[in-house]
Amino acid sequence: MKALIILDIQNDFTPGGNLEIEQGDSIIPLVNRLQDHFNLVVATQDWHPQNHRSFASNNPGKKPFDTTEINGRADTLWPDHCVQGTPGADFHPGLNTKKIAAVFRKGMDPATDSYSGFYDNDHKTPTGLTGYLKTKGVDETYFCGLAGDICVYYSVKDSVKEGFDTTLIEDAAVPLSNENYTIIRKELSAMGVKIIKSDDILQ
């Protein structure tokens, strides 16, 4: 069974948001069309408490995009974004959510960031996505959403590690950095990830 996994198409990651990705909203009509080609659609949602350690505002003397050590690893500090219960954390109003069977929230532990839809960054705490997909009989995962070089990237890598036949729909994901996206595309391909265009599904 195939599942479409939509990463973090939330207001704060689209134009006008606190951590906006340029043209992040441009893929929404495409993602909406893709949903009709899958029996199972799930989504992830960044859902941070206000005191999250990855926010630059909670690290005196630091500014957004600086790095700091969190739990023994170097992590990027971000503008406050996707704070629980705020409009910025809501799904973008243009995203069709009617077919989304389950939403997996991540980044809820104030001490640990969570890029992947499967695990937090220290890989100690799962979101439950793996178990859900396997219970549903999913063996093929298809990824789209935001940001292509961060949350989509880490989710795709974890999907491979969890044993799924994994595909990235590359034109249905928008990166924060196009340069990084080019680099990770090669890495994912070398891991066995299929990289396709949406037309491969929609045609």
38-61 tens-digit pLDDT: 999 999 999 999 999 999 899 898
Assess whether 151 carries a catalytic annotation.
yes
Q: What is the pTM of this model?
A: 0.95
Measured distance CA(159)–CA(139) in Å, rounded: 10
Assess whether 25 carries a catalytic annotation.
no
Q: Which one is catalytic: 8, 12, 25, 149?
A: 8
Q: Which one is catalytic: 106, 109, 113, 149?
A: 106
What's the whole-number average pLDDT of the chain?
94
Length of the chain: 203
pLDDT of residue 69 exceeding 80: no
- What is the architecture, at CATH level 2, of domain 2-47+89-202? 3-Layer(aba) Sandwich (3.40)
pLDDT of residue 74 exceeding 90: no
Q: Which one is catalytic: 12, 109, 151, 158?
A: 151
